[in-house]
Structures are given as C-alpha cells and as structure tokens.
Amino acid sequence: MMDNQQEQFRIDARRRLLILGGINGLLLVGLGSRLFYLQVLKGGLYRDMANDNRISLHPIPAPRGRIFDRSAIPLVENNPDYVLAVIPELVGNLSQLLSKLQGYTSLSDKSIEVILRQSRRQRTFLPLKVKSHLTWEELSSIEVQLPFLPGVIIQVQSQRSYPHGTLAAHLLGYLGEVTDIDREQFAKIRFRYGDLVGKNGIERSYEELLRGTEGVRELEINAFGRQVRELHQNMAQPGQDLYLTIDLALQRSCEELFQGHTGAVVALDVNTGEVLAMVSHPAYDPNEFIRGFSARQWHVLLNNPGRPLSNKAIQGQYPPGSTFKMVVALAALQEGRVTPQDRVFCPGFLMRESQRFNCWRRVGHGSVNLEEALEQSCDVYFYRLGEKLGIDMIEKYARLFGFGESTGVGLHGERHGLVPSRAWKRKVRKEDVWYPGENLITAIGQGYLTATPIQLACMTAAIANGGTLYRPSMIRHTSDPPVVRQHLRIRREHMAVIKQGMELVVKGDHGTARSAKLEGVSIAGKTGTSQVVRQQRHDDRSGRDERKFRDHALFVAYAPADKPEIALAVVVEHGGHGGQTAAPIVGKIIDRYFERQRL
C-alpha cells in the first residue's frame, strides 16, 4: 500500500515538473521572440528613435544677398546680429524659463505670451526665437548663465544694414516679420516664426533671390540638454547679390535738391529705360524697421500727412496737367487734325455751350502755332485739339504712351493711373453721356486723367529717343537687352516738331521753364500744373492760402536736347506752378549730373 502511494507521488511530481518546465519553456520562447523582434527586426527603427532623442537640429540662417548701385557701391549690407532662442523639447517648463530670461533681457510679458503661442504652432525640436538684436550687456549676461539654462542657445545671424539711411529708401524697401500674407505669396519658402521678409521695394520684389538657402547643424545633446559635439553641418547658401541701375551720386543729388518738398523724382536712361534715380519724399529710415519702433514712433509714421510709407514715384497718381500736351499734340499730328503751321487765337478763354474754359494766362496768348503753344503752354490751343480729337482718340494715344497700365518696373505696389473713356465712365460712374467739355479738360491733362511720375518719365524718354517706349529696369549686370514695351511709330517730322516745342519751353523768350535753363547743356522739357481742387480760374487765389489747396507742380525734361541721355519727371505736391517750383529742381539735377561726367 505504501509503495503504491509513493509511486503515485513520483508520477504527480514528474507531471508537475513537466508542466512547469513547459510553461518556463514557453516563457523563454516568448521572451526570445520578443527580443528578436525588438533587437533584430525593429532594431534599426529604435536605434534611429534613440538618435533622434539625442540629436538636435539647429538651422543656420542664410546671409541675405547684398544690394549695390550701378558702380558697385553698397546700398544694403549685412552686419552680425545675436539672437536668443530656445529648443522647447529640451527646456521642460518653457513658461518658467522665459520668466527667468526676463532677468537678463528686456523681455516683456506680452512678448512671452506671443512666444508661448508660437511654441504651440511649431515642432518642439526647432529653435524658437525669443529675442533678436541682443545688446552686448544682454549677450554677456546670458553667455555666463548658459550652463544653467538647458535648451537656451545664442544664434548669430546677419542683420540687414542700410548704410545710407533714408537715401533711396522707397526703392530699396525694408524687412519685417513674416505674416500669413507673406507665406501665401512666397509659398515656396518655408518660413518659421520670427523670420524676416522683404516688405517693400527691391527687398520684396526679389525676395526669393535675396533670401538664399538655409543650412543646418546636427548637434549631439546630453540628458541635460547641453551640447556634447557637432555631428554634421550643411552650410547655408548666401542669397544672390543684386546690382541695380541706380546711380548713387545722382540719387543723392536728387534727394538733396528735393529737400523741403513732398512728391517724387524719377530719372531714366533715355536709350535703355534703366532707372538712374527714384525719389519719394518724405522718406523713412529702413534701419528703424530692423531695430523696431516704439508705439509712439509707429503712430507718428503712420499719421504723417506726407505719407512717408508710400512710394510716390510709382504709387502717386496725379493729374499730369500740361505735361500731357505732347501726347495730344502728337495724336493730332498723326491723325491729320492739325499741321505745325496752323494757328489758333487765344483770348484767354474758350466758350462752349455757355461754359467758360479758361487759359492759365488771363489775358491770353494771342495767335499761336503748335510749337508756340507748347512753349507757352496755351490751354486754348489744346482745348481746340481736344475738340478735334475726341476722347476715343485721346485715350488711344494715351495708352500708346503707356498711361493707364503698369510700366513693369518690377516694384511691389505700382499703380496704373487712369485713362478715362466712355466705357470707363459707364462702368465706374454709371453715366452714359460723355460731355464735349470733358474732351477739353482731358486734352490739358486734367479731369479724370491721372498718371504716376514713372509713367511721365517713360513718356518723356520715349519722346527723347524718337519713339521707343522701354520697360523701366532696375537690375544691372544682366545679359538681357532692354525690354521694348512699344515702338510708337510716330512720324519723324512730327516728333521733331514736339521736340522743338519742348526746347522752346526752356530756352524760348516766352518759355514756361526758363528757370531750368543751363549754360553748356541744352534742356528740352514741359511744365505742368495740376489742380488739387476745382476752381473758377487757374489764377484765382481764393481759398488757397493753405498749402493743401495749392496745385501740384510738375516738370518733365530730357538732356542734352540734341543728343538725349537722361529723362526726368518731377512732381512737387502743392508746389504751385511747375515753372516756378519743379523746373528749377530739374535744372539743378541735370547740371550736377553732367558736371560730374565732365570731371
């Protein structure tokens, strides 16, 4: 009996051992399988994940391309700028860190709120900009504390510098922090929070060329977020340098001679369409946009009645006044509505349908032909041409000379001006009738007609070179030939009559721009006075004591008259008569330009 019990016990024990051993075996097989899965099948994946945890990617900003004038004189450069940034994934509590950094920098509570919001919008391993333009005091304080500030880094990037201050500011433009509108326009560029982008001028128009390609540094980081070593570096590719057509010396002369006025100056190379100078006044200092404005400074800039943020050379839309008379005269000659010898008697006014249309000279000009009408800017003569041509023909020739459309200069925000027509009046003003009197005022560059200073300069250059309307260009050192927008196909003898009349404007005994006359350089030009408010007479002074009610003064010119090289258009807002205000400015600019060439 005892033997049977012992035998049964041994059998049960062996069974339990076999079951236990089987279970252990299964556990070992499962463990081995899991280890095989983790170490062999998924080893590469987890190895990469581990590397990602200890590798931090630091972008290397690309130096922005520099900008030079036509003689390789720097207009825009780059200086080193020190930027405080953090790697959010290495920080821990970002809010506490930012509060701590307030002890070392002038970081406001509002700025911290903005940074925290941005941290939720970008990937945590990318640097998050906290503050740029660190002072030496801020930089040294942070550098000393870096071992105790995990995730905090100092980046060195290039800061835009405009060494000439306000000189050519509107042409060059300025930089500002990227916005959603910028992201949409430059969809190919991957912007990050705090990136700077061109906001205006050349800086914006050529953003993709100037920007360059960002580099990256791969850094090994320890558990405390401190850099151990650099693993790899892809260098940043600098942006492309640009060489402009601008002549810095001429630009400076234009701006100096335009001081005290509001308006614009544009100078073009007659034979290529290159922009030699572009002035809009008042101006701003692009460096201020880099350093940052206080709320008060920004308010003053925005509310300046002179509109310093507007580039009046391409955005100012003014009635061209009598500077438009060359277009009307060429239209009448080409269409056979007048000959150079035809004379018109000017008594100082023209009566049409019981309405009086005055000439700027109250006593009139007497009997004048086309050249004399240009010389003396006789309004009655051109009223008659307006009657003979009608608005359809005036519109045709205005558009032939580039009015009513962009010049294609390539600067952001260029306006088109306005060439009125029957169709435009029906669409915009909801009026079906074009009145005869509207032909008259359009023929002297008033009424609905408006143009930009650069359009006036292009028109003048086309007359000077004999009939080629170029697209104004800003970029030099390219192999591309000048771009011709239009061959005007104006008969040579007709163009000669207009040019002779423009010469008489400056050198004639009755010329309206005798104040622009120079010794040694012959100038051809045309004055213009565009009304700001409707008045009974051009010479009526009532209600004009305040500057804002004074007419705009215009003058377009080219020189030398016999072999043209340079064409200019000047608009002086509320400057009064073109011959008194605008013409002397142009004369002095041309004098300096050719004096420098003689040296």
Beta strands in 312-363, from DSSP E residues, in sequence order: 344-346, 349-352, 355-358
| Burial of 291 per CB tally in 10 Å (0-12, 13-18, 19+) | exposed
Mean pLDDT of 377-389: 97
pLDDT in tens, 428-467: 999 999 999 999 999 999 999 999 999 999 999 999 999 9
Q: Give the pLDDT mean for 297-310.
A: 88
**Bridge partners for 175 per DSSP:** 198
Does 201 score more than 90 pLDDT?
yes
Which CATH number characterizes residue 62's domain? 3.90.1310.10
End-to-end CA distance of the chain: 137
Q: What is the pLDDT of residue 542?
A: 44
Neighbours of 348 (CB within 10 A): 18
- Same domain (yes/no): 389, 286: yes
Q: How far apart are CA 258 and CA 591, in angstroms?
A: 14
Q: Would 171 be classed as within a structural domain?
A: no
CB neighbourhood size of 480 (10 A): 7
Q: What's the pLDDT score for residue 190?
A: 83
Answer yes or no: do 118 and 143 share one domain: yes
Q: Can you list the alpha helix ranges (DSSP code H) found in 401-491?
A: 422-428, 436-443, 453-464
Q: Does any domain span residue 33?
A: no
Within a domain: residue 570? yes
Report the Cα 370 to chain-centroid distance in Å.
40
Please give the residue that has the higher pLDDT: either 41 or 499.
Answer: 499
Kindly state the DSSP code that residue 483 receives in the 8-state scheme: P
- Separation of alpha carbons 171 and 169, rounded Å: 5
Same domain, 421 and 454: yes
> In which domain, by residue range, is 145 found?
56-165+216-243
Structural domain total, the chain: 2
Question: What is the average pLDDT across 520-530?
Answer: 96
Q: Are residues 269 and 233 in the same domain?
A: no
Residues 239 and 252 in one domain: no
CB proximity list for 298: less than 8 A, separation 6 or greater: none
Task: Kindly list the distances between the CA atom of residue 495 and the CA atoms of 73, 281, 332, 500, 593, in Å, as whole numbers in the listed order.
Answer: 38, 33, 12, 9, 26
- Token look-up 């970008």 returns 122
Q: How far apart are CA 317 and CA 449, in angstroms?
A: 9
Q: Which of 258, 263, 245, 311 lies closest to 284, judged by CA?
A: 311
Beta strands 242-243; 67-68: pairing state: parallel
Query: CB of 470 within 8 A of CB of 461?
Result: yes
Q: What is the pLDDT of residues 28-62, one digit of tens each?
A: 777 777 777 666 666 655 555 455 556 777 777 78
| Spatial CA neighbour of 364 closest among 379, 375, 352 | 379
Can you give 351-401 as a three-state secondary structure string?
EECCEEEECCCCCCCEEECHHHHHHHCCHHHHHHHHHHHHHHHHHHHHHHC
Quote the pLDDT of residue 342: 96
For residue 559, what are the β-bridge partners? Answer: 566
Residues 363 and 229 in one domain: no
Per-residue pLDDT tens for 528-578?
Answer: 999 876 544 444 444 445 777 889 999 999 999 999 999 999 999 999 999
pLDDT band at 594 (very low <50, low <70, confident <90, very high): very high
284 and 221 in a common domain: no
Is residue 79 in a domain?
yes
The pLDDT of residue 543 is 45
CA–CA separation, 441 and 423 (whole Å): 18
Q: What is the per-residue pLDDT for 296? A: 82
The β-bridge relationship of strands 468-470 and 349-352 is: unpaired
Helix then strand then coil, in percent of the chain rounded to 5, is: 40, 20, 40
Are 413 and 464 contained in the same domain? yes
Q: For residues 413 and 481, give the distance between their C-alpha atoms in angstroms, rounded to a whole number.
A: 25
Give the per-residue pLDDT at 225. Answer: 55
Among candidate residues 224, 243, 262, the one where a domain is terminated: 243
CA distance 43 to 40: 5
Residues 15-29 have pLDDT tens digits of 777 777 778 777 777
**Mean pLDDT value across residues 168-180:** 93
pLDDT at 508: 96
What's the rounded mean pLDDT across residues 57-84? 89
Q: Are strands 275-281 and 344-346 parallel, antiparallel or unpaired?
A: unpaired
The residue out of 243, 260, 283 marking a domain boundary is: 243
> What average pLDDT is seen over the chain?
88
Q: Report how far apart, in Å, the C-alpha atoms of 537 and of each of 360, 449, 541, 575 are.
A: 8, 19, 9, 17
* Domain shared by 224 and 328, yes or no: no
What is the rounded distance in angstroms from the CA atom of residue 332 to the CA atom of residue 335? Answer: 5
Q: What is the pLDDT, as a whole number, of residue 80?
A: 84
Report the alpha-carbon distance of residue 20 to residue 470 in Å, rounded.
Answer: 96
| Confidence at residue 346, expressed as pLDDT on a 0 to 100 scale | 97
Residue 252 shares a structural domain with residue 134? no
221 backbone dihedrals φ, ψ, rounded to 5°: -115, 135
Residue 345 is predicted with a pLDDT of 97
- Which residue would you say has higher pLDDT here, 492 or 151? 492
Residue 438 CA to residue 427 CA, distance in Å, equals 17
| Two structure tokens written together for 176 | 């500002």
Q: Domain containing 576 — which CATH number? A: 3.40.710.10
Residues 337 and 222 in one domain: no
Lowest-confidence pick of 52-56, 179-183, 307-311, 425-429: 52-56
Range of lowest pLDDT (42-51, 76-85, 280-289): 42-51
Mean pLDDT of 194-209: 92
- Prior bond to 63 cis, omega within 30? no
Assess if residue 346 is contained within a domain.
Answer: yes
User: For residues 253 and 299, which has the higher predicted lDDT (pLDDT)?
Assistant: 253
Does residue 305 fall inside a structural domain? no
Q: Identify whether residues 285 and 396 lie together within a single domain.
A: yes
pLDDT digits (tens, 9 = 90+) for 248-264: 999 999 999 999 999 99
pLDDT of residue 209: 94
Share of the chain above pLDDT 90, in %: 58
Worst-scoring range by mean pLDDT, 143-147, 183-187, 468-472, 511-515? 143-147
Q: Which segment of 97-101, 446-450, 517-521, 564-568 scores lowest on mean pLDDT?
A: 97-101
- CA pair distance 327, 488, nearest whole angstrom: 11
Catalytically active residues are 322
Q: Helix 109-119 vs helix 94-101: angle between axes, to the nearest 10 degrees?
A: 150
In a domain, 464, yes or no: yes
Is residue 187 domain-resident? no
Length of the chain: 599
Distance CA 245, CA 268 (A): 10
